Structure 1
Amino acid sequence: MTDQTPALRLEGIVKTFPGVRALDDVSFAVLPGEVHALMGENGAGKSTLMKVLGGIHQPDTGQIFIAEQPTVMTSPLQAKAQGVVFIHQELSLADELSVAENIFLGELPRKSLGRVDWQALYDTTDAILKTLNVGFDARTRVGDLSIANQQMVEIARALTVDPRAVIFDEPTASLTDAEKVVLFDVIADLKGRGVGIIYISHRMEEIFKITDRISVLRDGQYRGTLETAQTDEDEVTQLMIGRSLDLSRNASHHEMGDVAIEVRDLSCGKLYQDVSFSVRRGEVVGFYGLVGAGRTEIAETIFGLRNPSAGSILLDGQEVRINSPVEAIRHGISLVPEDRKGQGLVLSMNCRDNMTLPQVDDLTAGPFVSDGAEVAIFDQYRDKLDIRTPGWRQLVGNLSGGNQQKIVIGKWLSMHPSVLIVDEPTRGIDVGSKSEIHNLIRGLAAQGYAVIVISSEMPEVLHVSDRIVAMYHGRVMREFTSEEVSEDSLIQAISGIESDQVA
């Protein structure tokens, strides 16, 4: 970072929406050849600031500078023309088009008479994909790719231009560990070429691994910039939320009841085999493992989304057959899915309607849904879960990630389940909201719920769980109590190392 002239700089940015000042005199700069983290709770203003930079929003006041030259961003295309490239967390791909067409959409190479030069398109795309070490080629239909590979297509878009700055918004949310390594190599390469990197993430381990500086927003205001090598998680957290967090191991202080759910030798083809475990009322059992270990598939089987090929599920000691989510709900089982936006919410609907969606049939008065009953349910769980929203009419898509997750949890709690399954409870959620979700999960267990938590984050599964089931390639490797588990033993188990192999 020898060149101290910023690659881009925002000065005194103010942006107000009806009733909300989203950005209040915010200044921010990224230098050439640095990775600069932008952090803050959901709703702190990070996305709004980046939308101002990308020409999606126009600031009320303030100025954007590219290489110290003032500019006005009027659209994402203009931002790209100025060398500012965005890698969005929310995928914006056309499923029916090829990888190459998606990467060069709007900029397809042409031959005479305006015809597309398909060979040049495919050759250029394959050269870019080679640098990313992915397992697909330019002609692959994007809709046939996994979510993780679709994210790699988004990243490939940044490599089609000679950028001044690249903004990565939660780029690892859908990536495997191997794909993360490739991504970090790409970032290191861009950094070595003098490109300024803005890195938005809630994952502290990534921030401290790859960034040079950290800037923090809180409540729409700039709170400061820290040198990554000279700070720690606690200082960053305090800057973000104004307080420290309790990240200690879980220690239950309440009595547990009888076994609510037991799974015996459950299998589902090649996805997982011979899985057995139980969960008591008042207990949180965490499932930990690498991507592809079979954790989500087990949850989907219990909830009736998959049919097991062998084994049995017992509720309160009685074997049950669950062939659909409707039957699972009838048996008192609820599932908070990993993809809350795609599977847990209807973003275009309001908070009340999202929360009461599974029980509309029970809230009808004649041919009409009872508005009063719906509002009463929403008000009850808004207060119980501390959901921060102006009111039930607010569209769920306008809420922060943490409050969206609380809406999904509230939706299922209002059904009064006995077993609650929560898959990746804090994915894409800031550190402050994570703490609230963790406390909520522990509080539900204290109230007598049997809770299953699936998480890819070791600190999370250690913090909330009474017992941890470690999985590897569809099999249960070991089961730990919160007292006996260690980080080393957990890593060994999810890596396929049997307990008797550990020296």
Structure 2
Amino acid sequence: MIEIINITKKYGAIVALNNVNITFKKGEIHGLVGKNGAGKSTLIDILYGRISPTSGKIYINSTEIDFRRYHPDIAHQKMKIAIVPQQTEYAQDLTLEENIFLGFEKVDNLGNLDRKYMKNKTREILKEIGLDNYSPETKLVELSFAEKQLLNIGQTLYLRDSEIILLDEIASGLSEERMHFISEQLKKERKKNKTIIYVSHRLKEVIGLCDRITVLRNGSCITTEDIQEMNLDKLTRYIIGSDINMQNSSDAYYLKDYSTQPLLEIKNLSLDHSLKNINFKIYKGEVFGIAGLGVKKLMEILSGIILPSQGEIIYKGEKVFFTDPNTAIKRGIAYLSDDREGESIFTDFSIKDNSIVGSWEKISNFWGINSQKEFELFFSFTKQLRLSYNKFSDNITTLSGGNRQKVCVGRLINMFPSVFILNEPTKGIDVQVKYELMQYIREKLTKNSAIIMSSPEDEELLMVADRILVLYNGKVYDVIPRSEFSESRIFKAVQGG
């Protein structure tokens, strides 16, 4: 059992957790839910010893935690806590057996690795998690992301002798069928009197799986209730705070005419089991929001990063086929990844060079890059987006996260595309920069283009979008017009309810 008493965590003036009190019982699956930034991950990190609270006490099985000495090794070895994080680092070149026993190697009485035991135990775990089509000698790199997640869950449930299990967004990337399978395994672990803390945004699964649910909002504990007293509508209101209808100060910027030829039309687009028969149309001057599971894969198909298994993309009335991102860019479709540090910025390049990558053909002639055009492009976007920097020749890494994001958006602007595909364009930036970007997207980019945009924050889509398409279980669940926007409708649609 875990007792959390008046836990507060501050980062300077920012309060991540504010006087939180929760009891997690033995023999229960306890759901922990809330919007992004509610404090869920901070609480999980405290429980696992990754960070210490600013104040408050935690008792695990009646033993008070000494935060001066508490760290993940102590959490695992003494408190018998195991965690399945949202993102796990894997040893891709090692076998499944080696990955499962990495850090948990079994030795015999002579101090040698007990290969026979580890191989048999690996087979047992693979069978338990439905991956017995693989052998212990299979290299991890051969598994899909979802299968790697299952392997991590299997190691946690069936190898570690844990009494407390922390599950942080484990459903991400798992199909509904596989998640149902894992839910059944968790119910078996509950019968062994274990404490299971389950963090998820998939509320229907939380309601179907958990015994009690705690809601965090803005770092505070809003409520803890038995599942018998909870339903999707009630849980949604707790998480959001109210049924907020977002309105922009001016309706002049929103698209009203859908009688023209669509700029982009998607017909029966599918990707294996991830996306199924996706259909929609997008018009010039429109911000088209997309929410739900499968957003990134859909955007990567539209931008030529991955190929669909079937379906058509019709662009400006013509059927097109993008074999790679460069093909899409040349046709006028530009993509901004949600992984800014890993996929969007070039850490060896200057601020200026990062902003014009992809535009070199437009500013080059027979003799090379036209310096005058190069600087015209650079200074034009820096003025439009109010970029804060010292020297244009400085490395991109000298900028703040918000200004790096402005450079990434500026790079797309410099390509002059007809369709901007923006995957979480405000991710990891502060409120002021976020507002500036959102305003620019709505009021400037739509003048000559269409915008396809996703965001982890529903409020952002409600603020800027003309329509919002919601994906659920790989299919189009709802397309919501602006006149019917409400945060609860999006929230419930993402859950399939």
TM-score with structure 1 length normalisation? 0.68
Identity of aligned residues (%): 26
Partner residue, 1:388: none
> Structure 1 residue aligned with 2:264, among 257, 261, 264?
261
Structure 1 residue 230, shift from structure 2 partner: 1.1
Unaligned runs of at least 5 residues, structure 2: 247-253, 364-368, 389-397, 428-436, 456-460, 482-497
> Structure 2 residue aligned with 1:86, among 83, 106, 123?
83
> Secondary structure at 2:178's aligned position in 1?
helix
Structure 1 residue 200, shift from structure 2 partner: 0.8
Amino acid at match of 2:305: L
Structure 1 residue 443, shift from structure 2 partner: 9.5
User: In 1, distance between residues paired with 2:203 and 2:51?
Assistant: 28
Asked whether the equivalents of residues 354 and 411 of structure 1 are also in contact (C-alpha less than 8 Å), the reply is no
1:334 matched to 2:334: yes
Bigger mean CA deviation after superposition, 130-139 or 191-200: 130-139
CA deviations 1:71-116 (Å, max 9, x no partner) are 3362212111212111101122211122222222112011355321
1:101 matched to 2:98: yes
CA gap 1:29/1:311 in 2 versus in 1, 3 angstroms: closer
CA gap 1:330/1:13 in 2 versus in 1, 3 angstroms: same
User: In 2, distance between residues paired with 1:90 and 1:59?
Assistant: 23
Structure 1 residue 218, shift from structure 2 partner: 2.4
Asked whether the equivalents of residues 284 and 445 of structure 1 are also in contact (C-alpha less than 8 Å), the reply is no
CA deviations 1:372-418 (Å, max 9, x no partner) are 7665455489xxxxxxxxxx94447xx9xxxx9x9988875775543
Asked whether the equivalents of residues 285 and 469 of structure 1 are also in contact (C-alpha less than 8 Å), the reply is no
Structure 1 residue 260, shift from structure 2 partner: 1.3
CA gap 1:245/1:173 in 2 versus in 1, 3 angstroms: farther
CA gap 1:410/1:21 in 2 versus in 1, 3 angstroms: farther
1:77 matched to 2:73: yes
User: In 1, distance between residues paired with 2:30 and 2:225?
Assistant: 10
Unaligned runs of at least 5 residues, structure 1: 1-6, 382-391, 428-436, 456-460, 484-503
Partner residue, 2:490: none
Asked whether the equivalents of residues 346 and 354 of structure 2 are also in contact (C-alpha less than 8 Å), the reply is no
Aligned runs of 1:287-298 on 2, under 5 Å?
none
CA deviations 1:256-315 (Å, max 9, x no partner) are 232213568999999999999754435688999998xxx977754542335799998653
Asked whether the equivalents of residues 356 and 414 of structure 2 are also in contact (C-alpha less than 8 Å), the reply is no
Structure 1 residue 206, shift from structure 2 partner: 1.4
User: In 2, distance between residues paired with 1:380 and 1:45?
Assistant: 30
Structure 1 residue 467, shift from structure 2 partner: 10
Partner residue, 2:38: 44
Asked whether the equivalents of residues 355 and 378 of structure 1 are also in contact (C-alpha less than 8 Å), the reply is no
Partner residue, 2:124: 127
Aligned runs of 1:253-402 on 2, under 5 Å?
254-256=256-258, 257-262=260-265, 279-281=282-284, 300=300, 302-305=302-305, 315-317=315-317, 322-335=322-335, 340=339, 345=344, 356=355, 376=383, 378-379=385-386, 393-395=399-401
Partner residue, 2:418: 418
User: In 2, distance between residues paired with 1:155 and 1:305?
Assistant: 29
User: In 1, distance between residues paired with 2:44 and 2:166?
Assistant: 8
Partner residue, 2:366: none
CA gap 1:426/1:200 in 2 versus in 1, 3 angstroms: farther
User: In 1, distance between residues paired with 2:4 and 2:274?
Assistant: 49
User: In 2, distance between residues paired with 1:174 and 1:355?
Assistant: 31
Asked whether the equivalents of residues 291 and 468 of structure 2 are also in contact (C-alpha less than 8 Å), the reply is no
Bigger mean CA deviation after superposition, 234-243 or 165-174: 234-243
User: In 2, distance between residues paired with 1:273 and 1:470?
Assistant: 10
Structure 1 residue 121, shift from structure 2 partner: 0.8
Partner residue, 2:141: 143
CA deviations 1:9-49 (Å, max 9, x no partner) are 22222222244232232222210111111122222221111
Partner residue, 2:168: 169
Asked whether the equivalents of residues 356 and 377 of structure 1 are also in contact (C-alpha less than 8 Å), the reply is no
Asked whether the equivalents of residues 381 and 410 of structure 2 are also in contact (C-alpha less than 8 Å), the reply is no
Asked whether the equivalents of residues 353 and 374 of structure 1 are also in contact (C-alpha less than 8 Å), the reply is no
Asked whether the equivalents of residues 291 and 470 of structure 2 are also in contact (C-alpha less than 8 Å), the reply is yes
CA gap 1:376/1:236 in 2 versus in 1, 3 angstroms: farther
User: In 1, distance between residues paired with 2:40 and 2:292?
Assistant: 31
